[in-house]
Structure 1
Amino acid sequence: MTPTASALRVAIVGGGPAGIYAADLLTKSEVDVSVDILERLPAPFGLVRYGVAPDHPRIKEIVKALQRVLAHPDVRLLGNVDLGADLKLEELREFYDAVVVATGARTDRDLGIPGEDLPGSYGAADFVSWYDSHPDAPASWPLDAQHVAVLGAGNVALDVARVLAKTGDEMLTTDIPAHVHEALRDKRATDVHVFARRGPAYAKFSPLELRELAHSPNVDVIVHPEGFEVDDASMEHIGRNKQAKMVLDTLANWVGREPTGKPHRIHLHFLEQPVEIAGPGKVETLRTERTRLVGDGNVVGTGLVTNWDVQAVYRAVGYRSSAIADLPFDDRAAVIPNDGGRVLDLDGGRLPATYVTGWIKRGPVGLIGHTKSDAAETVAHLVAETTPTATARSTTDVDAFLLDRGVAVADLDHWLRVDQHEIALGEAQGRLRIKVASREEMLSVGRA
């Protein structure tokens, strides 16, 4: 069923959880509304599809709920449509009364240390995009390093360490395509060192993801006692934070545990901050400085520097949003400036009928479910403030415009064909699905 002209027309730019949650809330509001979700990729779901590690299918279960929203009769998916390339913001306003930007964050935040641009120093987001078969990711990835450093104390750091340490064949139960499996099968990593600048009580790991590190039959997890310090402020912190206490308990049980002889090892180091990545032309050394707790959760450097012989460094210190064509952007905070989801210009004035939600609104913090409250705030403002202003109010007007531009729109039916194709590929190998990696193949399958 296709939505037609209605009292309110809304375009949502971005087909990840943030955008889909906003569409869901709009259709459940008291106003008569039709929603078009513009997604630059031929597949929806954003970070759920392209940011969650393939060996975490439990988290990907959220796709079922998101897909139900896309099937709503007042929601349309317009995939393979890129704002800024296929159409401009001012052109969107001809067809929609309000625009909600929900483009998320998928680039890496910089560390700001010497040597981070050396060959062999990688952003974790780029590596995640590769093993999750993002259409914009390269087809191959260099995995010839035997000793690897991962910088960061969040779940992305754990994902990167786990994927690097596990054998490629362990990943064959997941949705990775053949080129990713072959590269992981042939990788040379034996030791993966994860570095956190603060103490173990302040690690941002989720308890479940941390425990999963020890589930591989091929990986020993070693928590090094140097830097494993817990002061009074740390105890107060875990007293207020149940998840932090669970993480600390798990880590404490692993401290000093001897390796069992498994072929791969993940080393967890606390109170070590990276200060330089070095090497003549490529990564050969990571330098870290020992830090110490100062009684309020923060740390300071001690001047004690350690050189680590590594051949690759993965920076997992946070995601960063990117600027959107024709919209203001706060480069320091890496968000679109806004007041409760209402977009502001650089002078602090409000842009008419323009809204944001998700990580592009508040920064890349929190789990996927936290975007629901973002969307609720934004949608409440939109519903209260928006009046019909678009001059071309029919869905056929939008379709004709995109067709005239030569845009090959990938709608929901297109995605469902890709979805069924991936499931069929998986069934042939006894797996739930196998991803189609390239944009061209997704478009071809979807048109079949």
Structure 2
Amino acid sequence: MGEQNIAIIGAGPAALYAAEVLSKAGKHVAILNRDVKPGGLAEYGIYPNKYKMKGGLRKMFDKILSDPKISYFGNVTVGHGGNLSLSEVRAMGFDAVIVAVGAQGTKWLGLPGENTPGVYHAKDLVYHYNHLPPFSERDYKIGQHACVIGLGNVSLDIAHWLVYDRKVATVTTVARRGPAEKAYTDKEMKIVGGTLDVEQISREFETIAFNVQSAGQDPDALLADVLAFKHGELECETPAKLGMRFLRGPAGVEVDAAGNVTGLICDVNDLVKKDDGSVGIKPAGRQEVIPCDTVIFAIGDSIEPSLDLPVDAKTGNFATVADKWDVHPERPRYMVFDPATGEPVWGTFVVGWARKASDGLVGKARLDAINGCEEITAYLNGDMAGKPAEARAAGEPIEALRSRLKERHVAFVDYDAVRRLTRHEAQIAEQTGLPEFKFKSNEQMLQLCHSDEAMATSGA
């Protein structure tokens, strides 16, 4: 009897933790990653100066990828218009295919003026300052007065970059709900707290105080909470001030005759206490324009549409089996479901943010991967109605994958090449006195991965 072979699309935390679980169970795993380097958002989504956190995750992922049962294929795009389609991967004889690409789509509101130069999605900027190609090579023109839509940790990461790296004059976070509904953590606010515009925020609370009180909330306590870190230590000297607007729902981007952003048009909202005691919002029936020259949407992400997997019309996520799994009825399902046929897509699974976009951080991705692998293992063991085909020889589908990529002249990289690259980058960082160095283009990285010079430099 052969050994089971699993393909995992993606190489972020959920993908890598799933690979670890399955390889330890004796499965052969092929990881196909769009990027040259593995890590996903752990590599390209954490703020650049969080070196200790990123270093710890890299060591953990390096240990996983060093397992001889795991084969890494970097710089390989899977999906419509990519190097391979998902159906091609499935047809290569893998016993299961796991989609763990994260939430690569960008969520927009469809507002007038969204496509104006000077309007960006937070994800693009996060990738830019984390040196992920091709975003790292693009020129994002940032003005002096930015509005950041959203009030979660990503919005504060963007504020972090704007106030300390770009040193703009003002950054204003814009939230459609009230201050009690803020979603950021104290840990993120501490970093930018010293730049808070205390006068502006205090005036804002004066404006919304009556409405906040009418909803049964304490505006003074909420203000104190928002300003708790106003005396925080600055990361560096900056002229920037961080302000906040609440109960302002974005309705459009104001643009002048020359095509420049001049403001964010907002619908004013009121807080309203519901019969069940919860607090919601309702339109106040008027609009307001917040002057700015840059608008950044930090409102979450969406699934990757190019994979051509069925989508759940209600949630916007990839559709998964609705029936509870009797082994763990309390858990979500991970097997993909096709509403058009009314049948599961046997052998195809989603984990991490690919299952539920923008849900949690690395720890939650790990748990989701572990839980998902239990369902995947049950399928592989034949414990479900649909059963995998007879397992092939160890690594046979993986070699078929390798041959297909070579036939198509795809410049894929293995994990040994990635190690050579990262060692080379570490050497440059040491020589230049930088805490970290990253190449900004795929061409530079691939040249080092594939060249004899890179091997000589690393001593390989």
Q: How does 1:275-314 map to 2 (within 5 A)?
A: 275-280=251-256, 281-295=259-273, 296-314=278-296
Q: How does 1:224-303 map to 2 (within 5 A)?
A: 224-225=201-202, 226-227=204-205, 250-253=225-228, 263-280=239-256, 281-295=259-273, 296-303=278-285
Instruction: Give the match's secondary structure for 1:204.
Output: coil
Deviation string 1:176-215 (CA, Å, 9 cap, x unpaired) is xxxxxxxx4xx7x211111111122211102101111135
2:427 maps to amino acid:
A
Distance in 2 (alpha carbons) for counterparts of 1:379 and 1:55: 33
Deviation string 1:363-395 (CA, Å, 9 cap, x unpaired) is 222222111222122211111112454657524
2:250 maps to amino acid:
P
Is the contact between residue 336 and residue 344 of structure 2 (CA under 8 Å) also seen in structure 1? Answer: yes
CA shift at 1:40, angstroms?
A: 1.5
Q: How does 1:191-230 map to 2 (within 5 A)?
A: 191-214=170-193, 219-222=195-198, 224-225=201-202, 226-227=204-205
| Counterpart residue number, 1:400 | 403
Is the contact between residue 102 and residue 356 of structure 1 (CA under 8 Å) also seen in structure 2? Answer: yes
| Counterpart residue number, 1:133 | 131
Find out whether 1:38 has 2:32 as its counterpart. Answer: yes
Is the contact between residue 196 and residue 227 of structure 2 (CA under 8 Å) also seen in structure 1? Answer: no
Counterpart of 1:344 (choices 337, 346, 352) is 337
| Counterpart residue number, 1:366 | 360
Is the contact between residue 118 and residue 141 of structure 2 (CA under 8 Å) also seen in structure 1? Answer: no
Counterpart of 2:101 (choices 93, 100, 103) is 103
Distance in 1 (alpha carbons) for counterparts of 2:136 and 2:435: 24
Find out whether 1:17 has 2:13 as its counterpart. Answer: yes
Deviation string 1:111-153 (CA, Å, 9 cap, x unpaired) is 2332222222111111112111111216242435111111101
Counterpart of 1:72 (choices 35, 44, 67) is 67
Is the contact between residue 130 and residue 136 of structure 2 (CA under 8 Å) also seen in structure 1? Answer: no
| Counterpart residue number, 1:329 | 311
Distance in 1 (alpha carbons) for counterparts of 2:216 and 2:301: 26
CA shift at 1:331, angstroms?
A: 6.0
Deviation string 1:223-243 (CA, Å, 9 cap, x unpaired) is 61324655597869xxxxxxx
CA shift at 1:254, angstroms?
A: 6.0
CA shift at 1:68, angstroms?
A: 1.4
Is the contact between residue 323 and residue 336 of structure 1 (CA under 8 Å) also seen in structure 2? Answer: no
Instruction: Give the match's secondary structure for 1:365.
Output: coil
Find out whether 1:444 has 2:447 as its counterpart. Answer: yes
Instruction: Give the match's secondary structure for 1:287.
Output: strand
Is the contact between residue 319 and residue 338 of structure 2 (CA under 8 Å) also seen in structure 1? Answer: yes
Distance in 2 (alpha carbons) for counterparts of 1:134 and 1:274: 29
| Counterpart residue number, 1:175 | none
CA shift at 1:346, angstroms?
A: 2.4
Supply the RMSD in Å over aligned alpha carbons. Answer: 2.8
| Counterpart residue number, 1:179 | none
Change (3 A) 1:390 1:80: farther
Is the contact between residue 120 and residue 295 of structure 2 (CA under 8 Å) also seen in structure 1? Answer: yes
Instruction: Give the match's secondary structure for 1:118.
Output: coil
Distance in 2 (alpha carbons) for counterparts of 1:19 and 1:234: 44
CA shift at 1:250, angstroms?
A: 4.0
Change (3 A) 1:87 1:389: farther
Unaligned runs of 5+ in 2: 322-332, 381-387, 455-460
- Higher alpha-carbon deviation: 391-400 or 153-162: 391-400
Is the contact between residue 163 and residue 238 of structure 2 (CA under 8 Å) also seen in structure 1? Answer: no
CA shift at 1:255, angstroms?
A: 8.1
Is the contact between residue 335 and residue 359 of structure 1 (CA under 8 Å) also seen in structure 2? Answer: no
| Counterpart residue number, 2:300 | 318
Is the contact between residue 2 and residue 391 of structure 2 (CA under 8 Å) also seen in structure 1? Answer: no
2:267 maps to amino acid:
E
2:318 maps to amino acid:
I
| Counterpart residue number, 1:385 | 379
Sequence identity (%): 31
Distance in 2 (alpha carbons) for counterparts of 1:6 and 1:154: 48
Instruction: Give the match's secondary structure for 1:114.
Output: coil
Aligned length: 409
Is the contact between residue 136 and residue 441 of structure 2 (CA under 8 Å) also seen in structure 1? Answer: no
Distance in 1 (alpha carbons) for counterparts of 2:93 and 2:446: 25
Distance in 1 (alpha carbons) for counterparts of 2:406 and 2:172: 51
